[in-house]
Structure 1
Amino acid sequence: MGTDEMSCLGLTEEQERIYRLCLREPGIGLDGLIDQLRLSPHAAREELGRLRELGLLHSEVPTQGGSEEPSGEDRPSDEDGLAAADPDVAVARLLDLRLHELHEKLQQVTELQPLVASLRPESAEQRPPTVVGIEQITDLPKIRDRIDDLAFFAREEVSLVEPSTALRPEDIEQDRPRVLRCLRRGLTVRTVLVRKVLDHAPTVAYLRELESHGARVRLVSHTTAKIQMYDRRTAVVPVHPEDSSRGALFAQESGLVSNILAMFESIWAESDDLGALLGERRSEDDDGPSELERMVLRAMCSGGKDEAGARDLGVSVRTYRRYIADLMQLLGAGNRPQAALLARERGWI
C-alpha cells in the first residue's frame, strides 16, 4: 500500500491508495475507504472528488430494470459503491494529462526569453545573456540538424516514443542512418510505438531491422506522447502535440527533463515487446505469413533484383534478404525457385 508508484503521473500517495483499493474491492463505499485507509471523512471526500474529475473512479449504479440516468435522491453519492477505471484506461488518461501539463510548462519557460531581452536594456550592468535551458526551433532543417547533433554526441542511451500509426517512407530513410549509427557505437536504443503499426508492413520491417541491430522495440496500446530523449539529459518534444509544423522544444532544464523521462519510463513499463506481439499474430494466423512476408514473396517471385524489391517495400537490402531466408526456412525450401513453388502451393501468393 502507498507505494507512490503513480506520483510521476500526478497522483498523490492517498489518491493512489484509494484507486488501488477500489481495484481490489469493487463496490467499496466511503465508509470502507475510511476504515481501511484510516482517512478522515473530509480528506476522503476531497480525494474521491479529484479521482472522479480524473475519470479514475465512478459510482456503481444498481440497475432497477431500466437504463435511465438516476436523478435527485437516486443519484449516486460517495456512500454508494465505487468502481475503478480499467488500469489501461487510467494510465493512458493520466499520461495524456501529464503530457499536456509539460507542454504548457515548456511553453511558459520559452516565453521568458523575450522577457529577458526586454529587461536587459534596463540593467545598469550589461552582462551576456544567460541560457534558459529550453530552446524553441521552428525551422524543420534546423530541427533535423540539432537532432543529428544530439544523436552524434550521445554516449549512453537514446529513448523514443512515436504516437503515429505508421512511419512514412521518407521518415524511415531519414531516421535509419542516425539510429543505426547509435547502435553501432554501442548505445542503448529504446523505442515505443503504438500497436496499430503492426498493420503497416514497412514500419514493421524497419522496426525488425532495428531489433536485429540491438535496439529494444516495444508497442503500447495508446499514447499521444512524442518524445526523444538523449542520455537522459536532453529531451525533444513538439511545441504542439498535434501540429508538428509549429516546431520543437529542446529542453535541458533538469526538472522538466526529469518529468519527461518519468513519463517515458511509465509508457515503457506499460508496453509489450515487438517480438512477442509478432509471435502472437503468427499463432493467430496458423503459422501463415504476415502481410509483409507475402509482399516479400511476391517481390521475390517477380524476378527483380533484391535492391529493387527492398526499395519497393521501403526496407534495406539486408532486411529484405533476411526475410527471404526466414521464409525459405519456414517453407522448407532449399532455394528461391523452390520457395516460390511451395508458396504458390500453399496459397500464400
Structure 2
Amino acid sequence: MDISVIGVPAEAVEIYRYFLRHRGDGIGSIRQALDMDPDTIEGAVDTLGRLALLDITDRHRVMATEPRIGIERLIEQRLNELNTEIRRVLTTRDAIASFVEDQRHGEEATSALDIERVEGLDRVRQRLDDLGFFSYKETLCLHPGGPLSLGAIETALPLDTRSLRRGLAVKAVYHPKALDDQNMAAYLREVVSLGGQIHITEDPMDRMLIFDRSVAVVPIHPKESSRGALLVKEPGLVSQLVTYFDGVWDAATDLREFTEPSSDGPLLSDLERKVLEVMARADKDEIAAREIDVSVRTYRRYVADLMARLGAVNRFQAALRAKEEKWI
C-alpha cells in the first residue's frame, strides 16, 4: 500500500507498523527487528515524528498515533494543500485576457503582410531546410540561372532524396545553361531517377521556391540572391506565385525530352518502369510500394500519372497497354 501521496515514505511505513504492533518499544529495538541501516531508521523516525504519527518525546518509549486519527489528519491536510493549489491554478485564467491583448497588438503590428525577411546565406539555408522538412505535399522550384556549385549540389541532393522518399512531389524548372555543367546534369538525372520532375525552359523566369503551395520564398533582390530571401505566407500573394509557377511549368519541356528529343518511345524513368512492372501483379498498393522501395503515396501518384498517359481506366489495363506500346 503506497501512502507516499500524503507524505509517508515506504521505509517510514514499515517503522510506523512496527510501533503500532509494539507500543512502548524504544528506537533501539527497530534496529534488531527490521533490516534497515541506522541512518535510514533515524530519518524515517524523524519524518514520522514531524507528521505526528509517532510520539518520540521519549525515544526509549515510542508511542504510535492511532491510524484513524493520524492518517486521517494527513489526508485532510493534503486535500487542503491540493485545494489551495487548484485555486491558484484557476486564478491563472485571469492572465488570458492579458495574453489576448498581447496577441491583438502582435496581429496589428503584422497585419500589413505576412512576409518575413531573412538575411544571410546560412540563415536562408537553415530556413529552407526547415520548410522542406516540415512540408508534406510538394516542393516547387524555378531556377533561372546557370548550374549550382558543387557544394550546393551536395547539399541539395540529400534534401531532395529525403523529400521524395517521404512521398513529396518535387517539381523544378531550370534554364538550359544549368545542363552545361556535368555535375549539375548528373544531379538533375539523379533527381528524376528518384521520382522528381524536372522541366527545362529558355523563357525568362524569376527565382523562387514554393512549399506545399502555402509558403513562397523569393530573393530580396532579383539579381542578388546572396542578399537574402523573403518568406511569403500571405495567401493571396502565394496563390499568384503558384499560378505563375504553373504557367512556367506547363510551357517548359521535360528534361528527358529536352536531352533526348529523337527518342521514338516514351521517356520513362527507372522508377516509372518499375511501377509499370508491379502494377499488374501486386494485389495491394502497400506491397507494390514496398517492392520498389517507395512510399505508398509516391506509388499511387506514379500510378495515376501513368494511367493518364496511357489512357487506361484501371491499373490492369494500364499494364497491358504499356506492354502493347512496348513501354516495358
Pick the TM interval, shorter chain.
Answer: 0.3 to 0.5
Give the TM-score, by structure 1 length.
0.44
Give the TM-score, by structure 2 length.
0.46
